[in-house]
Amino acid sequence: MRLRNVPGARQEMLVNPYVIQEPERFKGVWSREVFHNDHPLHIEIGTGKGQFLMALAELHPEINYIGIEKYSSVLFRALQKRPALEQENLFFLRLDAEDTPDIFGPDEVSKIYLNFSDPWPKERHAKRRLTSQEFLNRYRTFLKAGGPVEFKTDNRDLFDFSLEQIEPAGYVCDLCTFDLHHDDTACAGNVMTEYEERFSRAGHPINKYIIHWEVQKWLNKSTQKNSMN
């Protein structure tokens, strides 16, 4: 996907009150020091233009949200929407997903959203996919045990790859559908992203899973791996 440059986007990242600067200083204390409460923290990695997270933040003032986006020109569009939200439960980070373990402490995040992530279609780039085993292992460093990872995509090849990564990473699948909008159970309470609206209107089926990691399952995986070395 070719990104259009937005003049002034990088400068806006430095001065906008809803973009947190030097986020490493809040590792382990996000809810207390940034949101000034003890509510659970949910994050979206690859927040795009912000429609999804804005809707969630409005629906759930009892939850703290952080949207993480790598590209200034994309995050700029989310920031344009942010003043419409009356609650103070949504902030943003301009950050590469690889750096999330440096930003959040153990058990600090209660839920992760991954929506229409870059598929990185070339096999040599598989480790860059946000649903790869490498990234699932990163999430474990700050995601509470039992905390869900929700993933949606219209890319069937990426979804099939993602399903293969669950078990080797020590996660358990709680929900899986290959056609979200025609699955009444899976679609209950669904909040759509900009991409989801566009793709579903075009007739593209939306794939979704919800997974979580379990301490014992991960310990068993680690033990098996160590015994083979």
Residues 6 or more apart whose CB falls under 8 angstroms from that of 183 comprise 177
Do 92 and 21 touch, CB atoms closer than 8 A? Answer: no
Tell me the pairing of strands 111-115 and 90-94: unpaired
**Residue type for position 136:** L
Do 68 and 100 touch, CB atoms closer than 8 A? Answer: yes
Q: In the annotation, is 179 catalytic?
A: no
How far is Cα of residue 218 from the mean position of the Cα atoms in its chain?
A: 21
| Euclidean distance between CA atoms 22 and 104, whole angstroms | 12
| Euclidean distance between CA atoms 176 and 206, whole angstroms | 11
| Euclidean distance between CA atoms 151 and 52, whole angstroms | 13
Q: Which of 38, 107, 118, 174 is catalytic?
A: 118
DSSP letters, 122-161, are: SGGGGGGSTTSHHHHHHHHTTBPTT-EEEEEES-HHHHHH
| Euclidean distance between CA atoms 193 and 201, whole angstroms | 12
Residue 103: DSSP 8-state: T
Q: Active-site residue numbers?
A: 118
